[in-house]
Structure 1
């Protein structure tokens, strides 16, 4: 018991004798992704009814993490990050029925966004969502 008391007194004395910390400048804090205008970070998923789910990311501005990221960021900026508001792209798809669910979620301009919709096949889904955002895998 005596050793415990001596140890506690020693620790208290050390704390009292330690100099006070010098005034430090505050460290600037980066508010992170989604804090600026036209910025976003989206997780993208293509989930076929039969098969493995493909995943990707899109970081705007700049389009990092995505093969057609710059185009996708431009399209999303025009609709304030709302995938469902994207205009369909022109193109032709086969009529093979292979259902696929497209999901996109993350932050856009500091707010959460979520999109999920099922299409008859991947080509139709990619074209319906502007042609670039979900163009993350070969189909």
Structure 2
């Protein structure tokens, strides 16, 4: 009888140890409350000279994370995250600032943004006529 009690206790503890961590997985079911307060945000931004990804010469790359706080290797992460929030993460809606005057010299600059912003996949590529037009559109987001 003692062996049966020991086996039952050992089996119960083993089941609790193995199945205990699995109870968190049930909360991740569709429609359940999120297990984290912040949706993931981790982006890699690159810039270089050229007209597209195949011909652009990469010059600089930075990381940007906007949750829970602005961080990364971007020189102004708080301002860049504020710009992303301003367009709801939709980089295609970025517009040039009013009153910015740029020359018409064609020296193409290619920008990419890859990663996740507030849990949504981001894959953005854009060619600007020159660095001035890139900075007019991207503000601090592309200023690295």
TM score, norm. by length of structure 2: 0.64
Contact 2:46/2:58 (8 A) holds in 1: no
Question: Match for residue 38 of structure 2?
Answer: 36
Task: Mark the runs of 5 or more structure 2 residues left unpaired by the alignment.
Answer: 1-9, 29-35, 51-55
In 2, distance between residues paired with 1:107 and 1:101? 20
Over residues 71-124 of structure 1, what are the superposed CA-to-partner deviations in whole Å (9 max), with x where a residue is unaligned?
111111121111121232354445543211111121112111221111121231
Task: Mark the runs of 5 or more structure 1 residues left unpaired by the alignment.
Answer: 1-18
Relative to 1, partners in 2 of residues 1:35 and 1:94: Cα closer, same or farther, differing over 3 Å? farther
Contact 1:43/1:55 (8 A) holds in 2: yes
In 2, distance between residues paired with 1:41 and 1:71? 15
SS at 1:128 equivalent: helix
The structure with the larger Rg is: 1
Contact 1:40/1:108 (8 A) holds in 2: yes
Question: Match for residue 82 of structure 1?
Answer: 90
Q: Within the alignment, does 1:26 sit opposite 2:21 as a pair?
A: yes
SS at 1:134 equivalent: coil
Q: Which has the higher helix share?
A: 2
Find the partner of 2:109 among 100, 105, 111.
100
RMSD between aligned alpha carbons?
Answer: 3.0
